[in-house]
Amino acid sequence: MTPTLRYTTPAVVLHWLVALLIFVGFPLGVYMHELPLSPVKLQLYSYHKWIGITVLLLAGMRVAWRLSHRPPPLPDSIAGWQRQASAAVHGLLYLLILAIPLSGWLMSSAKGFQTVWFGVLPLPDLVGKSRELGDALATLHQILNFTLLGLVILHVAAALKHHFIERQPFLQRMGWSKQERT
């Protein structure tokens, strides 16, 4: 029996939900950061936090799914160094989609702003209020986000290269085809 080259439906759904939320949350974070203090800025921060906590929960589900379901194998034609690079980038992507929302939650806690998910579920502060820690976590949050941006660009570029230049079915691996999925 030939193994399928597709991810499972839950893996695909979680991948695209997390990607969509990141593609909304990242530019929102960049935009709101420069706004003067106002009710609009505070509301945008709330939306950004809601997105971040949702990403954290979905990322936890993705990691659990990935640990219990092997991804489809890469085509045999993929060079060894590319396999290693793919594994490293995917590992870093998983790490960042967990670390970024967590760093934001920690930062909010340290800055004295409780995170209230969707405006109804108050989440506990993870650390005590500390201006120095809050500033350090803000810097970390920003560095992690721009690192994620670079890795996402690399991830997308590699998938497009393999699909369009090398004519390998990389986009179908995370696509919505009705064919069998692992």
| pLDDT value at residue 176 | 54
pLDDT tens digit sequence for 41-96: 999 999 999 999 999 999 999 999 999 999 998 888 889 999 999 999 999 999 99
User: Which of 113, 101, 103 lies closest to 21 in space, CA to CA?
Assistant: 101
The helix or strand, by DSSP H or E, that contains position 121, with its residue range, turns out to be: strand 121-122
Residue-wise pLDDT for 88-141, tens only, equals 999 999 999 999 999 999 999 999 999 999 999 999 999 999 999 999 999 999
Top-level CATH class of 9-173? Answer: mainly alpha
Strands 121-122 and 116-117: antiparallel
The dihedral sign for the CA sequence 16, 94, 160, 24: positive
